[in-house]
Amino acid sequence: MNLLLDLFECLTGGRVYLINKIMGGFRNDGPEGLFAKLSEFLDYLELQIPEYDKTLFENPIIYKG
């Protein structure tokens, strides 16, 4: 899931420690291109929702309903 890590890196400058937040919000505004990357990630996530739904609700190991 590199798209999500790319978003974190774009916003905070790091892929592991997300230390950009402070009380009341973020230290800086989002960098140029952040919203384009966010849109790309959300488009990808929207395509994956049926697979996630199938995995969670049709798998007898996870869902016993």
Residues 10-64 pLDDT 10s: 877 777 776 666 676 666 777 888 888 889 889 999 999 999 998 888 888 876 7
Give the chain's radius of gyration (CA, Å). 16
Compute φ and ψ for 29, nearest 5 degrees. Answer: -70, 160
In 10 A of CB 45, how many CB atoms? 13
Q: How confident is the model at residue 65 (pLDDT cuts 50, 70, 90)?
A: low
The pLDDT assigned to 42 comes to 92
- Does residue 52 or residue 2 have the better pLDDT? 52
